[in-house]
Structure 1
Amino acid sequence: MKKKGIISSIIGSVLLYLSLQGVKFSEISLSNGDFNASFLIPIVVLMLLVPLIRALRLKLLFSHLHNIQYSQVFLVNNIGYLFIMLLPLRLGELAIPYLMKRNNGISMVSTMSVIFIERMIDFIVLVGFLFFIYFMLLLPPWLLKSGIIISLGLGIIIVSLFVSYRRSGFIKTLIEPLLKRMPQHIQDKIDGILRRLREGFGIIQSPGLIFLTIVISIIVWVISVIIIYCLFRFYGINLGFIAAMTVMVVNVIGISIPAGPGVIGNFQYSCIIALSFFGLDRNVSFIFSNLYYVISMSFTMLIGIISFMATDISFREIKENLNLDESSSSI
């Protein structure tokens, strides 16, 4: 795991280096001429709204497993995002499954299935945004190719999930000859994992809930676009909603790449790439990417720490239970 952590940190460092290329530090100014502090108010309000809506979405996705209180989902989700930011290789993704197991007795495997569906819904929405952007603007062909590749990947995953869920008995029959060669305790463990996966993916039996979570996801990402647009106005950048949507989509793709703590490098470089489509000065793009980074990460840390303090969980407990070498025993 340490080797992977080093590799991910190197990736982040390389991307940070690339984001610095072409930046003339002697010409950088924190003020862009049309600085407008009044946009801080909607930025803060909207940033508070996003985790509230995300928690509602997660509560709905867990509804087939357990009736969890909204306040608890809100705290757990905020803590999860905090650890995603703090830990390399997106290991923080395991924080929510651990906390759901700890607080509600829901299997980590089942929770990871739910989180996986949540991420798939996010990517479906983002791919829709990506195609919308492409047909609204003259953007590089690689952006369209990226959308097509992601769409094909999502399609394969969704069909595989549906078939696996509806034909779980058939899949078990296929792997049974292999299972019989294994010790009984391993057979039991694999059987338990398959059962919990099926439980987690049970949400696909409720098309109405899936549709509702897609609508909520669209709302979340539209709010994120508005936040970026307000940041443009805050810093005095004269770009519109399409540019803000482009920054959001490219940034999400960029930070999805496993990297070091805080996704430093991925975040800045993806923002600069997105802004380059609109001919924005490299210096201004660099300052904006870091402004966006500092504000978004500071907010994630603040709300995550407050949520963390509102629980009886210790940092050591989560750190120990997110150790991949030990986590396999807790699924």
Structure 2
Amino acid sequence: MNMFNKGTLFKVLFNTALGIVLVVVWLKFVDLKQIVATIATVNIVLLIPAFLFMLLSPIIRALRLQVFLQPVKKLSVLDLTFLNMAAQMLNFFIPVRAGELAKGVYLNHHYDLKLGKSIAWIFLDRFVDFILVLVVTAILLGFVPNSLPSTFISTVGFIALVTLLVTYLMVFQASLAKKIANFLSRILIVKSIKIYIERIFTFFLDAFSILRRSPVELGKLVLLTILAYAADAAIWYFIFLALNAPQGLAKMYLSQLLSALLYLIPAAPGYVGSAEASGVLILSGIFRMDTNLASAMIVLFHITSAIFVIVFGLISIYSLKIDLKLIFRKILRKDK
């Protein structure tokens, strides 16, 4: 039996081809000799804080996931930290959201949570992350100098508001959301598939109920998300510092938020091409930074983060005794 089903294989091959194209395009805009020369000047000592923040980021996200899943199960922060780092490694090598699916499978097998619900909650956690990224991005774009047109900023703000409204209806006005969905289904959906759409909607409506919390608990989720991206911003901040090219922390924070939005785009294994292309697009295209300097930072970040992800990913898989064969069977094969 083939390890990969056709759909997954196509995605991986397509993403790989896209990554190669992005590398070729990126190379047309940069001077490799200048990039190597810039990286050669790196202050290794100043990379230590960057590594520490690479470690802090998944810990903060583990705390957020613990708060997120608190109504369902009390989970160990240490387990969730290792799980986050294992998922990072899986996403790094198999960038088709393998890490998120692996989290759901692990929670199903080690904490006896239903597989469907576990995966839905993990993706819902990422959805909450996406909402907050949109909202904070819309706010910071109005304060941090950038070259984006005002129409783009307004569009981001509008999408953020609509997403917040839909989420509010799904969480706190479930009956109204169901009525709206039923009304729309009569107009837009073919009768033969209507029953399946209604089942899916009901499933996700039930999954969204996990967010029906007190303002204090929701505030914790918001605060931990903001802190997680602050840790991400500090990584880039210290890498630029190590290259003797200090940048403002607010700019690095907004850069990481924009980077998170761009990572919704398909990526090649190892994020080859997509990391360089998105980094240059954000730092040079939006913040008018020198292309070679931006590329040097991104390449150095790519190398250091790859080392971190692989080392701590393997440690995490060993510590949690994760059955990779089971994970791959669930993610990459057609279950018979």
State the AA in 1 paired with 2:272. Answer: I
Instruction: Describe the superposition over 1:205-231 as per-residue Cα deviations: whole angstroms up to 9, x where unpaired.
Output: 214322211111111111211221111
Tell me if 1:318 matches 2:294: no
Unaligned runs of 5+ in 1: none
Q: What residue number does 1:136 align with?
A: 144
Counterparts in 2 of 1:308 and 1:164: CA distance versus 1, 3 Å: farther
Question: Counterparts of 1:109-124 in structure 2 under 5 Å?
Answer: 109-124=116-131
Q: Distance in 2 between matches of 1:48 and 1:12?
A: 27
Q: What residue number does 1:209 align with?
A: 217
Aligned residues: CA RMSD: 3.2
Q: What residue number does 2:48 align with?
A: 41
Conserved? CA contact 2:12–2:268, under 8 Å: yes
Q: Distance in 2 between matches of 1:136 and 1:74?
A: 32
Q: Distance in 1 between matches of 2:322 and 2:119?
A: 20
CA-CA distance at 1:324 after TM superposition = 5.8
CA-CA distance at 1:98 after TM superposition = 0.9
Q: Distance in 1 between matches of 2:301 and 2:82?
A: 24
CA-CA distance at 1:170 after TM superposition = 5.5
Q: 2:271 aligns with which of 252, 263, 268?
A: 263
CA-CA distance at 1:264 after TM superposition = 1.8
CA-CA distance at 1:262 after TM superposition = 2.1
Conserved? CA contact 1:86–1:92, under 8 Å: no
Tell me if 1:296 matches 2:301: no
Counterparts in 2 of 1:29 and 1:157: CA distance versus 1, 3 Å: same
Conserved? CA contact 1:97–1:112, under 8 Å: yes
Unaligned runs of 5+ in 2: 1-6
Secondary structure, in 3 states, of the residue corresponding to 2:96?
helix
Counterparts in 2 of 1:198 and 1:133: CA distance versus 1, 3 Å: closer
Q: 2:252 aligns with which of 244, 253, 272?
A: 244
State the AA in 2 paired with 1:304. Answer: G
Please, what TM-score do these two structures have when normalized by structure 1? 0.83
CA-CA distance at 1:145 after TM superposition = 5.0
Secondary structure, in 3 states, of the residue corresponding to 1:106?
coil
Q: What residue number does 2:58 align with?
A: 51
Conserved? CA contact 1:12–1:260, under 8 Å: yes
Q: What residue number does 1:10 align with?
A: 17
Question: Counterparts of 1:153-168 in structure 2 under 5 Å?
Answer: 154-155=163-164, 157-162=166-171, 165-166=174-175
Q: Distance in 1 between matches of 2:178 and 2:312?
A: 43
Q: What residue number does 2:75 align with?
A: 68
Counterparts in 2 of 1:101 and 1:164: CA distance versus 1, 3 Å: farther
Counterparts in 2 of 1:14 and 1:70: CA distance versus 1, 3 Å: same
Q: What residue number does 1:87 align with?
A: 94
Instruction: Describe the superposition over 1:169-222 as per-residue Cα deviations: whole angstroms up to 9, x where unpaired.
Output: 75898889x9x989xxx98xx86x777645532222214322211111111111
Q: Distance in 2 between matches of 1:262 and 1:304?
A: 13
CA-CA distance at 1:101 after TM superposition = 0.8
Q: What residue number does 2:295 align with?
A: 286
Conserved? CA contact 2:42–2:244, under 8 Å: yes
- The total of aligned residue pairs comes to 321
Q: Distance in 1 between matches of 2:33 and 2:181?
A: 64
Deviates more, 1:74-83 or 1:56-65: 74-83
Tell me if 1:19 matches 2:20: no
Q: Distance in 2 between matches of 1:302 and 1:308?
A: 10
Q: What residue number does 1:230 align with?
A: 238
Q: What residue number does 2:4 align with?
A: none
Counterparts in 2 of 1:134 and 1:19: CA distance versus 1, 3 Å: farther
Q: Distance in 2 between matches of 1:308 and 1:239?
A: 35
Deviates more, 1:27-36 or 1:253-262: 27-36
Conserved? CA contact 1:97–1:111, under 8 Å: yes
Counterparts in 2 of 1:24 and 1:75: CA distance versus 1, 3 Å: closer
Q: Distance in 1 between matches of 2:293 and 2:157?
A: 31
Instruction: Describe the superposition over 1:67-101 as per-residue Cα deviations: whole angstroms up to 9, x where unpaired.
Output: 22223222222222221222132233211111111
Counterparts in 2 of 1:152 and 1:16: CA distance versus 1, 3 Å: farther
